[in-house]
Amino acid sequence: MHQSINNLVSIQNTLKIENLELNKIKIIAVSKTFPINEILPLINHGQVHFGENKVQEAIEKWQEIKQDFKHLQLHMIGKLQSNKVKFVVPLFDYIHSLDSLKLAKKIAEEQDKIKKRLKIFIQINIGNEEQKNGIDEGDLEEFYKKCVNEFELDIVGLMCLPPKDINTKEYFVKMKNLAQKINVKELSMGMSNDYLDAAKHGATYLRIGSKVFGNRN
């Protein structure tokens, strides 16, 4: 069995041991930098959700394979520039990094062109870090209303990248409260180093790379 499959099963078993409901938690295998021959074993095993953060790399890897495996769900998890949206909307199924009204408008325009609606997460700058993208907590309600009412986006949840080297649990709790405040059900939070804490605090999408594929070169 391919090592990535063993790794994925190990993560699933860890979640089961903690009595977390696997049917409510989706694992996104973050396949950025890994070639398609490293990804295919997971696809054949039954993994559905994959994440990429660079548009050009995603196009080169996934355009053809999504023709063969139409059930796959591709997640854009990295910073998304407005000029790349026209490439993202046709290929991807989810965007996890909506962080401005300019980007919201562009996504709406590109969706209208091809009559497709992606599932979208609003990125929250949960640690108020200058170097990170995302909406401030205090601006969330107004931003959410504009995205839904003005741009008619399908906002399914919130996403965050908590500060590194800090106890992330408090940020996950904050995120859950924010999601309840605007009445969205999905939370994209938790990566290889903190996925278990995220799952315990309400994450419904875990973005896991190295714990599945191994360390990147």
CATH code, domain with 181: 3.20.20.10
What's the domain count of the chain? 1
Q: Is the pLDDT of residue 167 over 90?
A: no
Q: Is the pLDDT of residue 217 over 70?
A: no
Q: Is the dihedral of CA 69, 75, 79, 82 positive or negative?
A: positive
150 within 8 A of 176, measured Cβ to Cβ: no
Bridge partners (DSSP) of residue 49 are: 73
CA 57 to chain centre: 17
**Which structural domain range is residue 174 located in?**
3-213
SS3 at position 118: coil
Burial of 35 (0-12, 13-18, 19+ CB in 10 A): exposed
Across the chain, mean pLDDT equals 94
Residue 127: per-residue pLDDT: 80
Q: Is the pLDDT of residue 129 over 90?
A: no
pTM of whole model > 0.85?
Answer: yes
CA–CA distance from 127 to each of 161, 163, 164 (Å)? 8, 6, 10
Residue 59: per-residue pLDDT: 96
